[in-house]
Amino acid sequence: MIGTAHAAPPPATVSAHRDPNVLRWLAAYTASLLGDSVYFLALGFAAAKVAPPAEVGVVMAVGAVPRALLLLGGGVVADRFGPRLVVIGSDAVRCVLILAAAAVLALTAPGLWLLIALALVFGVVDALFLPAVGALPPRLVTGDQLVRLQGMRALAVRTGNIAGPPLGGLAMGLGGASTAFAVAGGLFALSVPLLLGTRIGASAHRDDPAAGLAARARPDGLAAPGELAEPAAPAGPTELAAPDGPAGPDGLAAPAELADRGTAWAELRDGLRYVRRHRLVGPLVLSGAVSEFGLAGPLNIGMVLLARQRGWGSAGYGWIIAAFGAGAAASALLLTVRGRVRRAGVVQVATLFAGSAAIGLIGAAPVLGAAVVLALLAGLICGICGGLAVAMIQTATDPAYLGRVTSVMSLTGFGIAPLVYPAFGAAVSLWGPTPVFLAAAAVSMLGGVIALSSPAVRTAD
């Protein structure tokens, strides 16, 4: 595959958090996350300088349109050309794009059109970047290290969320939006050589006989529910490159055929069919989508509306969000240290129910202290739930479909879930936060019911 020319890492003899190759990738990923955070802050302030609030909102939202529309196509691109090449290309393009914007802002006083164009192009690149970067972890470590790597990745996300805004604010204070854009471009530039030095394989966990979630091969290429806890049949890199691999009886293409499928649309349909038919991936992806649909409102605009309705103000909102972030960071650290979780499927479903309940109860909290404690618990529990779900999906997914599976998962959070914001806000206006938070938690729990109804999820280890 294009973009995967570097030799695959050897079978895991070193834990992910001690592997220099993994740490190199993690440093590149963190730099990219920081660049993202600084860019969005600079974009908002640059727009506020030349436009009224309504138009600032347009600038900040316009990039989400191409990202949502093109995410599934980004998964096809990642699988066709290799996620490493796509991630390197995305960060390189973002670097050039943001540095060019910094130069224009420093030399001239452009109108709103420049910022809108910048946001649109950035959204297109994001649609390529997100599926590709999500498909990389299984190519860096063996299956027994994926949970640990997901914990490390979550820690990187928290670092970007916490450190990015102050860094962007400092740059804004020193030289305005042009300086902040230059800092963001520099961070994207930093990630490129780190990625170039990162060794990846077709999918390291496929060579790991101890990968608990990778299923033993069946005639249709998918996992049998009772086999999920058993070792995988090893598949070497040469099997992915075989020129004439036959299609399975279910009609899914063999990995080797993907380069010859013809149209990108055919590959996209093939990927969606793969998700739908896979006994473990399908239920987990659907469960995550339903849960995201339920919790997107409370976790985003819900906390703002709750703080205002209870009279806690912006300070109270800050405490709730900080507590949730602290809990999520603690869960990421726990997964990093723990590494492997037994009965992962059962634990994931249990934490989905518990995390949903905690978020629902935040809306019923009568005092700020109770809401903060519940938010801390919710962040801790939901972080474990999300980390396990992603690790199980990536371990069970055929390497040739990782980009498309990741794009389907990303579409839920970046494209579909935000559609509930207006309805959630209207419901809070009509009935208040408590019943709406609890109803949203109940919707999220339906995702747990979906997962629990799958024998493959229940027996995943």
Those residues whose C-beta lies under 8 Å from the C-beta of residue 61, and which sit 6 or more positions away, are none
Spatial distance between the Cα atoms of 292 and 438, rounded to a whole number of angstroms: 15
**The model's pTM:** 0.77
pLDDT given for residue 49 in this prediction: 82
pLDDT given for residue 187 in this prediction: 96
Over the stretch 91-144, which tens digit does the pLDDT of each residue have?
999 999 999 999 998 888 777 888 899 999 999 999 999 999 988 998 898 878
pLDDT given for residue 384 in this prediction: 93
Cα dihedral across residues 4, 8, 12, 13: positive or negative = negative
CA dihedral 48, 53, 56, 61 (to 10 degrees): 150
Average pLDDT over residues 211-235: 36
Of 287, 391, 254, nearest in space to 331 by CA:
391
Token output for 380 = 């801790």
* 203 against 338, higher pLDDT: 338
- Is there a contact between 400 and 267 (Cβ–Cβ < 8 Å)? no
Over the stretch 165-179, which tens digit does the pLDDT of each residue have?
888 889 988 888 899
Look at the block and give the residue holding tokens 């519940």.
374
Over the stretch 39-64, which tens digit does the pLDDT of each residue have?
988 888 888 888 787 778 788 778 88
